[in-house]
Amino acid sequence: MEAMSNEDQGPQSDFVRGKLKELESSIGFLDRADALARELQSQIPVANTYVAVSGVPATVPPFTAASGIFVFRAVTNPPGAVSVAAAAAPMADWMGVARYSHAVVAELAVVDARKDSKPESLLGIAWHFLALLKLRGHDLLYCPAAATCSWDLVCLKRDRSVEFTVLDDTPRQLTLGQTLPVTLADLEWVARYYDAALRMRDFQTSRRFGLAFNLAYSFNHTADARVAIASVWAGLDALFGQRADRPVAAALARRAADWLGDVTPRTIMNLYTLRCDAVHGRWLASDAGVMHALRSSVSLLRRALVKAVETERATLADWL
The span from the CA of 200 to the CA of 214, in Å, is 12
- Residue 307's alpha-carbon distances to 130, 140, 157, 209, 238, in angstroms, are 18, 22, 44, 11, 15
Whether pLDDT at 238 is above 60: yes
Q: What is the pTM of this model?
A: 0.86
The H or E element that residue 69 is part of is none
Whether pLDDT at 284 is above 80: no
- Residue 48's pLDDT is 94
DSSP secondary structure, 110-153, as one string:
E--TTS---HHHHHHHHHHHHHHHHHTT-TT-B--EEESS-TTT
Do the beta carbons of residue 147 and residue 154 sit within 8 Å?
yes
- Residue 249's pLDDT is 87
Q: Which amino acid is at 61?
A: P
Phi, psi for 246 (deg, rounded to 5): -145, 115
The span from the CA of 229 to the CA of 7, in Å, is 65
Widest distance between CA atoms in the chain: 92
pLDDT tens figures, 7-18: 444 555 665 555
The span from the CA of 256 to the CA of 268, in Å, is 8
Q: What is the mean pLDDT of residues 126-153?
A: 95
Q: What is the mean pLDDT of the chain?
A: 87
pLDDT > 70: what percent of the chain? Answer: 89
The span from the CA of 5 to the CA of 147, in Å, is 51
Do the beta carbons of residue 92 and residue 162 sit within 8 Å?
yes
Q: What is the CA radius of gyration of the chain?
A: 24
Do the beta carbons of residue 268 and residue 253 sit within 8 Å?
yes
The H or E element that residue 264 is part of is none
